[in-house]
Homo-oligomer: A and B are copies of this chain.
Amino acid sequence: MPDAVALLTEAAALAEAALEARLPAATVEPARLHAAMRYAIFAGGKRLRPALVLLACRAVGGADAAAAPGLAAVELLHTYTLVHDDLPAMDDDDLRRGRPTCHKAFDEATAILAGDALQTAAFAAAAELGAEAVLVLARDTGSLGVVGGQQDDLDAEGKPPDAALLERIHRRKTAALIRASCELGALAGRATPAQRAALAAYGEALGLAFQIADDVLDVTATAATLGKTPGKDAAQGKLTYVAVHGLDAARAEGARQARLAQESLVPFGGRGAALAELARFVVERSS
């Protein structure tokens, strides 16, 4: 039986190497920009998305080395969205992964540019997997994906609870990139179309489970375990699953989506065990 923490640790080590190989050194000019990009990237995140690329690739029999560009691509993409979301004009957050956010540690202009260049680097990495990987990543992270979800999220602040809008935000802002991570792993491992579709369905459900768990943690966790400011969503009047449906319903829906994710893995037999374990972990984690 695989262990989620061990899987994440293994994937994180491969992700660090894949990222290190694709980012200029902090001494390369413009040094301030490269330092900011590295500050944001090498901050000890969970590396969940790279783990999904790796495990999806393994689930279809692909080699770890084939997945490496995908590991880098999804983490570069994810990190750029965090850097921009934290900006004063957006969520205005001072703390991220237990450290000052990028614009606090550097300055606002540098953080905007570091985020921009991280997105560029993400697509360069995806292109190593081929044009189809770029199209998948772009589809799920642009105005109809992650960026669109963030815009909806900002526009929804302080508005009455809206279950349909909430689900759209969760699907776009969080589930889309998690699904794309699984699809990039599928592409890296040369999955069949049916395998790729199954992994996409897994990713979509896992992404919803993950975001609901995040909403739950925002009201139940402490800053020490969370590594960012808890209670922030409620204070900002954010639309969250807990705000719309309550804490108990949130926990139940998170568990249901995790089960749906696991059911998508049936075609993979034992090769899907690691991804199934990640789904369990995502809803039971405490940070």
Chain A contacts to B: CB under 8 angstroms: 24, 28-30, 32-34, 37, 80-81, 84, 87, 89-90, 107-110, 112-113, 115-117, 119-121, 123-124, 126-128, 130-132, 134-135, 138-139, 141-145, 147-148, 150-152, 154-155, 168
Cβ-defined contact, A89 with B112, below 8 A? yes
Cβ-defined contact, A113 with B151, below 8 A? yes
Beyond A89-B107, A113-B151, A127-B132, 18 extra complex contacts between A and B, CB < 8 Å: A30-B155, A32-B155, A33-B143, A33-B151, A80-B116, A81-B116, A84-B113, A84-B116, A87-B112, A89-B112, A109-B151, A116-B119, A116-B147, A117-B148, A120-B145, A120-B147, A121-B142, A124-B142
**CB within 8 A of A143: which of B120, B145, B147?**
B120
19 contacts between A and B (CB under 8 A): A29-B168, A33-B151, A34-B143, A80-B116, A89-B108, A90-B109, A90-B112, A115-B116, A116-B147, A117-B147, A119-B119, A120-B145, A120-B147, A121-B142, A123-B123, A124-B135, A124-B138, A126-B134, A130-B131
Q: In whole angstroms, what is the CA distance A147 to B107 when docked? A: 15
Q: In whole angstroms, what is the CA distance A116 to B87 when docked? A: 13
Min CB–CB distance A78 → chain B (angstroms): 13
Chain B residues near A145: list those with CB within 8 A.
120
Chief secondary structure at chain A's binding surface: helix
Name the residue among A32, A120, A139 with the largest chain B CB count within 10 angstroms.
A120
Min CB–CB distance A228 → chain B (angstroms): 19
Q: In whole angstroms, what is the CA distance A148 to B29 when docked? A: 8
Cβ-defined contact, B112 with A143, below 8 A? no
Min CB–CB distance A52 → chain B (angstroms): 20
Chain B residues near A151: list those with CB within 8 A.
30, 32-33, 109-110, 113
**Knowing A89-B108, A138-B127 touch, does A152 contact B30 (C-beta < 8 A)?**
yes
Chain B residues near A124: list those with CB within 8 A.
134-135, 138-139, 142
Cβ-defined contact, A152 with B116, below 8 A? no
Chain B residues near A132: list those with CB within 8 A.
127
Chain B residues near A110: list those with CB within 8 A.
151
Cβ-defined contact, B117 with A127, below 8 A? no
Min CB–CB distance A93 → chain B (angstroms): 13
**Knowing A116-B147, A120-B147, A155-B32 touch, does A131 contact B127 (C-beta < 8 A)?**
yes
Cβ-defined contact, A24 with B117, below 8 A? no
